[in-house]
Amino acid sequence: MLRAVEPAGSQESQEEFGALYARIQQFYAHQMQLFDNHDAERWAGTFTEDAVFAVPTLDEPVRGRAGLAANVRRNKIQQERSGEQLRHWIGMLDLQPQADGTLHTRAYALVYATPRGGESKVSRTCVLQDVLVRTRGKWRTRSRLVTRDDLALATESAA
């Protein structure tokens, strides 16, 4: 049975938490399929207007939906040039409801790369840390911090 650290004073039952957990898993499945299909505007729409997306391969965080959509279009061009298809799998989701109504999540992301005519392989292993908020009746990502195991381990080794 799922257990969660609930906000102080919350009456949320385990059944309600289970339903919320399932909705958030569906949110990530939908969001990542939009990303992998390069549906830039719809993917950016799963973020708040002022969202911040920090990933170690970019010089600075991406801010706002226009920046997020532009990043997806750039990724599409790079993948078309390389002939490689990327797929993201999100799992091991830890969901922490907060007293202010936000959700703090932490999950693992595996990125599979499939070269044209080749076999799929795990390209990267990452950790996603998000803050989700409910706006206009939908969950949206307000902030995302992505860390990559290979880069984090390289940084730790250099220290």
Parts of the chain with a pLDDT under 50 = 1-10
SS3 of residue 120 by DSSP: coil
pTM, 2 dp: 0.85
Q: What is the CATH number of domain 11-148?
A: 3.10.450.50
pLDDT digits (tens, 9 = 90+) for 111-139: 999 999 999 999 999 999 999 999 999 99
The per-residue pLDDT for 79 is 94
The per-residue pLDDT for 137 is 94
The per-residue pLDDT for 13 is 77
The per-residue pLDDT for 156 is 55
The per-residue pLDDT for 158 is 57
The per-residue pLDDT for 6 is 47
The per-residue pLDDT for 2 is 41
Q: For 26-29, which contacts have Cβ atoms below 8 Å and span 24 or more sequence positions?
A: 27/132, 27/139, 28/90, 28/93, 28/107, 29/90
Mean pLDDT of the chain, nearest integer? 90
The Cα–Cα gap between 35 and 27 comes to 12
As a dihedral over the C-alpha atoms of residue 21, residue 24, residue 29, residue 34, rounded to 10 degrees, the angle is 180
Beta bridge partners, 115, equal 84
Q: Which of 148, 144, 137 is nearest to 65 (CA)?
A: 144
